[in-house]
Structure 1
């Protein structure tokens, strides 16, 4: 039996086909070849057309079939991973009513803050485990106020992966894990949050039926099966946000285990069995893929928006003629610290770990007689690593103390410069694995279909490619990090002052 995994990313769709018995990946492809754009109609906005996701997913599946490394008729279950916190709204005919408001969109922050103020911070921390910020519930509130005609036509709201499953099966479903990432779920009552729905005036009928993460979420329709060369009736047996799914793909399921990813955004994701709360909601706990009422498993998520997006911008701006491996080689030729050039990589929307302050991206200390493209490439990658260190220290303040991080050997972890900067600035060893989100989604489908009796069985063949540990440059990186942090705090102060002046003027 074969398993099909679909990973709906911000820049592309990735598809993998895995042999259920051996857990070996038979084919893995991405579509499109170039990064899919984010629509930014106003500063702080970020949207994508959900119909384009489906077109790309279809092309990715057909592209995987074209490798001729397997028989598509042997695929027996499908799993879906997706970019978290987005909002898709559809009418009674399951047609999207507007472009999706995606994860890095900042417009809904005031709505989340208003809900936090009225519902109460203490209540939100104990029941929702987070403030509402600019998560999915707040984005829906923005649509309700600014696009009332659209809101009135909404039959169901969903996250990006739910929309892909809808296209495959014709059915709408959700899960506790998905509802928690949208800040719709009350952990204390184990139910939809009465307070959130009452405050925003949402009707609970907008929420699709709730299924377990590892469970049938519908069956592939005949006309879709014919188009994609699949058997009709294949179940979609797994659906999860990209970061819980990344943790699953690394077999990070138990308290104390930690996963990391450095794609368009960067994430550290630590599993705990405690109701973790950060008073300022800079890091956020959500229901992990294996969370149940009887056995709590939360994923504490630190997200950095400006990760791969910063690396991409630097390469395209100063080294557009180079491939990513070539750009990494240029960066590696520069000594740690980039000769005093520092990069704050916060240019992809407001950062939650920075209290949603608009810091932006900056290069500090640029010397026109010293620094060139290679310095900027290295500074950008080191700046991303320092952002991870800053966020990790927030998690340590909350009592989480990881010693080893697991990561897929993909995206920025393909760069030796970034990987060494990460381990030397955080002090953590990193185990690198040959896996990614689409492979994790495929194995998740196997768990949901009952092919594996336990998640551990799905990963019994998985071994790390290598382990990267801090080296002699740790002290150098500590000094550079402290300089970087001082610059960040300076910019945070500058970002806070205008907002305080605005508040004063309003009063």
Structure 2
């Protein structure tokens, strides 16, 4: 018996097939090999065509099935995870009406800010646990004002994973977790927020049926089965946004537990057991995958837009002579802690929530032509990303989170010894690395959804810890000095 996981990212779509009884990854692959295109027609915009997600899902799926040799009838459930906060609009025939406005698009900031003032800050924070900010609801408001003909044709709104579930099943649905990440969910009244729908003028008919995060949500249609070479009727039994799902993948379900990622964007995600929020909405609180009204499990999410995308930009525009990220890390390692006084402000991927939706761009501070080299810039970039994490984690600590252990997958920037050692030493937290990823986590969660696993403990019993990184306490002064210098630079930029 096997379980499939689909991970719809902004860079690629990953597919993972696991053996249910052992949790072993049988095969995985991703598509495309180069990063998916993000269209930016205007500054601060970011759009993708959801049909590209489906096309690349099919390519990665076909590769996984071919490599694994598994028969379609032996696949018993599908789980889906996705890039959070995207907006997809379809008409009554489930046709796409426009490209998806994705997570790093900042055009809707003014719409969210006006809603925050009009509805009332205290009411937004106490009911939504966030400002409407730059999330899905505000993006829909932008469409309503700027593309009224599209808004008029809209039958259903969805998040990226809901779109993939629709393509798989022909049915539309949305979870409470998804509604909360779109800032549509009223946590106090346990319903779609009437404040948000009334203020933005969103018909409640736009929302698909609410389906459970774990449990049968829909089944694979005959049409999708033919496209993918699957058996008709396989249940889709789990879906969640990428950061709640990443926490799930790392067995983070309980209050005080922390997960992190460092892909295109960077995230620190911790679990709370009470309704709480940052008064300035610099970090955001959403329903976690195991949230219920009776058992509060909320995810506090610190998101840094300018993370791996900075490293990628440097590779393609600055370190073009270095063939790989590993080579970049090697050159960066020649620079000392603090990068000889160089500081990089990494916020070059749109407005940053941690900076109260300011868009300060990326900058290099303190460069000296006589002493700095390529390695110093590369190291300072990684340190700058880590320092942005620590800047946000200070806000999480003020909310009562005790950050002692950070769990992460051995992927993306966590593969860099500079990045993970700097993070451990600046935050004074132990880093635990695991052999997992979002697609594998979604596959395991699908097993929970069909009842194959009795609970999360059983589902993640085979999760393998592959490394532990301790803080370098003997070098604490050097890390602290570099971080303080970086913070001073950030304040000047702001």
Per-residue CA deviations over 1:179-213 (Å, capped at 9, x if unaligned) read 00001110000011111111111100000000110
Deviation at 1:373, TM superposition (A): 1.9
Deviation at 1:30, TM superposition (A): 1.0
Q: How many angstroms apart in 2 are the aligned matches of 1:432 and 1:71? A: 32
Could you say which residue in structure 1 is the equivalent of 2:61? 61
Could you say which residue in structure 2 is the equivalent of 1:407? 408
Deviation at 1:70, TM superposition (A): 3.1
Q: How many angstroms apart in 1 are the aligned matches of 2:209 and 2:275? A: 25
Secondary structure at 2:216 match in 1: coil
Deviation at 1:227, TM superposition (A): 2.4
Deviation at 1:72, TM superposition (A): 3.7
Aligned 8 A contact 2:26 2:68 in 1: no
Per-residue CA deviations over 1:334-386 (Å, capped at 9, x if unaligned) read 21111121111000011001011111001111122222222221111111000
Aligned 8 A contact 1:50 1:99 in 2: yes
Deviation at 1:450, TM superposition (A): 0.9
Could you say which residue in structure 1 is the equivalent of 2:234? 234
> Is 1:477 matched with 2:479?
yes
> Is 1:350 matched with 2:351?
yes
> Is 1:381 matched with 2:382?
yes
Using structure 1 for the length normalisation, give the TM-score.
0.96
Q: What does 1:81-480 correspond to in 2, within 5 Å?
A: 81-321=81-321, 322-471=323-472, 472-480=474-482
Secondary structure at 1:320 match in 2: coil
Secondary structure at 1:473 match in 2: helix
Could you say which residue in structure 1 is the equivalent of 2:490? 488
Q: How many angstroms apart in 1 are the aligned matches of 2:15 and 2:371? A: 44
Q: How many angstroms apart in 2 are the aligned matches of 1:256 and 1:398? A: 11
Secondary structure at 1:465 match in 2: strand
Could you say which residue in structure 2 is the equivalent of 1:75? 75
Q: How many angstroms apart in 2 are the aligned matches of 1:63 and 1:225? A: 16
Q: How many angstroms apart in 2 are the aligned matches of 1:418 and 1:328? A: 9
Per-residue CA deviations over 1:365-416 (Å, capped at 9, x if unaligned) read 1122222222221111111000001000011112111211111111100000
Where do 5+ consecutive residues of structure 2 fail to align? none
Deviation at 1:228, TM superposition (A): 1.5
Q: What does 1:492-507 correspond to in 2, within 5 Å?
A: 492=494
Deviation at 1:333, TM superposition (A): 2.0
Q: How many angstroms apart in 1 are the aligned matches of 2:80 and 2:263? A: 17
Aligned residue pairs, count: 492
Deviation at 1:474, TM superposition (A): 2.2
Aligned 8 A contact 2:436 2:463 in 1: no
Secondary structure at 2:259 match in 1: strand
Aligned 8 A contact 2:161 2:241 in 1: yes
Deviation at 1:324, TM superposition (A): 1.3
Q: How many angstroms apart in 1 are the aligned matches of 2:228 and 2:470? A: 44
Secondary structure at 2:215 match in 1: coil
Secondary structure at 1:487 match in 2: helix
Q: How many angstroms apart in 2 are the aligned matches of 1:444 and 1:22? A: 14
Deviation at 1:71, TM superposition (A): 3.2
Where do 5+ consecutive residues of structure 1 fail to align? 493-507
Deviation at 1:69, TM superposition (A): 4.8
Aligned 8 A contact 1:26 1:69 in 2: no
Aligned 8 A contact 1:130 1:183 in 2: yes
Q: How many angstroms apart in 2 are the aligned matches of 1:251 and 1:137? A: 30
Q: How many angstroms apart in 1 are the aligned matches of 2:4 and 2:220? A: 12
Q: How many angstroms apart in 1 are the aligned matches of 2:195 and 2:90? A: 24
Deviation at 1:226, TM superposition (A): 2.1
Per-residue CA deviations over 1:163-182 (Å, capped at 9, x if unaligned) read 11111111100011100000
Q: How many angstroms apart in 2 are the aligned matches of 1:307 and 1:245? A: 19
Aligned 8 A contact 1:171 1:217 in 2: no
Deviation at 1:325, TM superposition (A): 1.3
Deviation at 1:257, TM superposition (A): 0.5
Q: How many angstroms apart in 2 are the aligned matches of 1:463 and 1:9? A: 24
Per-residue CA deviations over 1:194-244 (Å, capped at 9, x if unaligned) read 111111111000000001100222111112212212111111110100000
Q: How many angstroms apart in 2 are the aligned matches of 1:288 and 1:220? A: 26
Aligned 8 A contact 1:314 1:376 in 2: no
Q: How many angstroms apart in 2 are the aligned matches of 1:68 and 1:393? A: 45
Aligned 8 A contact 1:27 1:69 in 2: no
